[in-house]
Structure formats: structure tokens, C-alpha cells
Amino acid sequence: MELKNVVPWGRSFDEYQEIFSLTNVDLNKSILGCGDGPASFNAELTKRGGNVVSVDPTYEFTAEELQSRIAQVCDEIIPQMIINKDKYVWESIPSVEALGKIRMKAMNEFIADFDAGKLSGRYFHESLPSLSFEGKQFELALCSHYLFLYSEHVNLEQHIASIKELCRVAKEVRIYPLLSLDGEISPHLNEVISSLDAVGLTNSLVDVGYQFQKGATQMLVVKSV
Ligand SMILES: C[S@@+](CC[C@H](N)C(=O)[O-])C[C@H]1O[C@@H](n2cnc3c(N)ncnc32)[C@H](O)[C@@H]1O
């Protein structure tokens, strides 16, 4: 992977909590954040005493490399957000300016935590559909803004293999959003659900309290025990 092809953009702990309807009971579980990138979920949950491990292909880079790339992409993403403003709900995040501040705060928290977190085994350079963890090592796996969102780049087989892999390593998996980048329901969703049903993985679409991308109001929950 080349650094110039990486587009780091990460959400905050508060957003993850809303996105995945995380209760205090959930936050006390052993959690895998898959595709966490520069989100601050791991840094903030760790500060609160939680037990969380994050994986992402971009964790092969150093904190300095990621930080310089974040500064570059922020200058590219913010003008894009202004152009695409109508595709988002501007309520809890009231403006593009506020969005930039919230995202930069989250990503700075991630950068400040990255070296220490890597040393203590909280950040691993790994990629779906194959993870190194043991069977049911985690109680809960979360996947925010990777599966389904990038349906144009990640095909159906990769979706199915990735979700089965998450179910191998965690007792419960939550994935959000179910829309792809064009704002439509992912073309893979129905077939993913059929293949989970076929192997007996209980799954449901669950409403969440978070909505930023218009129409992204549900997560997929898969239980493997
Ligand atoms: C839009 S970002 C979302 C970051 C974070 N989860 C959040 O919601 O703020 C998508 C992330 O998916 C990661 N990603 C890309 N390919 C992946 C793969 N094969 N397995 C796991 N994560 C991947 C990217 O590196 C990036 O950090």
C-alpha cells in the first residue's frame, strides 16, 4: 500500500457509540474495531478503561506519516463535502466547518495514542477478509464505514468472506452503514443476508440513533453463538 493512496478520515468515540447503539454493557465487552483507521474510538475507550483492539491496513504507516497524510486529505475532503452537502443530515453535526473540527479532533486523538497503542497491542496492521485472531477472541466486533459503504470496490464474495471472518473472531458483529457511497442500499446487502442465513448466522437490521449520510439509519447485527 502506498501512503498517497490512503485517505485517512476517522470518527469519534461519541459517533461510534451512536452508530452502534453501544450501551455501558457493550462498552465493557472485549471489542474489535475493524477498519478503524484514524478513528479515536480505541484511544477514547481505552482512556475510559475499555478493552479494545483495532485493525486497519493503514496501521503499517507511522504516526508521522499518517498525520501528514491526514493534513493533506482534509484539504481535499472538506471542499468535496461542501459540494455534496445535500447528501448529509446537518443536525448533530451542524456544518461542514464543524465536521472538519470534529474529525480533526478525533484524528489528532488517534495520532497521539497510536505509538503507545501499537506497543501495547491495541493497533494491528491487518486486513479483512483474513484476521490473525483466535476463534471468538472478542465479544463484539464493530465495522464502521468500510463494508457496504465501499460496495463498488469490495465485491460480494469479499463482503461475505469478511463478515464470516468477523463472526469467527467475535460472538457478535455490528456493521454500519448499509448504504454505499452513492447513498443507495448496498447492492450486496440482500445476498450477504442470504448467505449468512444459509450458514445459520442469526442476523437482523437494527435501527440506530445516528444519521449523517442521508438514509443511513440501520446497522446489520450478526450473532455467531
Ligand atoms: C472511511 S474509513 C472509516 C474509518 C473508521 N472506521 C470510521 O468510521 O471513522 C474506512 C477504513 O477502512 C479501512 N480498510 C480498507 N480496506 C480494509 C480491509 N480490507 N480490511 C479492514 N479495513 C480496511 C481503511 O484503511 C479505512 O481506515
pLDDT digits (tens, 9 = 90+) for 111-169: 999 999 999 999 999 999 999 999 999 999 999 999 999 999 999 999 999 999 999 99
For ligand 1, atom 3, the nearest C-alpha belongs to 145
pLDDT of residue 1: 81
Q: What CA–CA distance (Å, rounded) separates 82 from 27?
A: 34
pLDDT of residue 5: 81
> Looking at ligand 1, which atom is closest to the CA of residue 143?
6
Burial status of residue 175 (CB atoms within 10 A of its CB: 0-12, 13-18, 19 or more): buried
Domain map (residue ranges) of the chain:
3-223
Is it the case that residue 221 has pLDDT exceeding 90?
A: yes
pLDDT in tens, 178-189: 999 999 999 999
Is it the case that residue 7 has pLDDT exceeding 90?
A: no
Task: Output Rg (C-alpha) for the chain, integer angstroms.
Answer: 17
pLDDT of residue 106: 97
pLDDT in tens, 20-29: 999 999 999 9
> Looking at ligand 1, which atom is closest to the CA of residue 149?
1
With a 6 Å cutoff on the Cβ, whether 35 touches ligand 1 is: yes
Q: What CA–CA distance (Å, rounded) separates 101 from 80?
A: 16
Q: Domain 3-223, what fold?
A: Rossmann fold (3.40.50)
Is it the case that residue 3 has pLDDT exceeding 90?
A: no
Q: How far is ligand 1, taken at its centre, from the CA of residue 198, in Å?
A: 27
Q: What CA–CA distance (Å, rounded) separates 168 from 122?
A: 19
Q: What CA–CA distance (Å, rounded) separates 203 from 197?
A: 8
Cell of residue 40, nine digits: 479515536
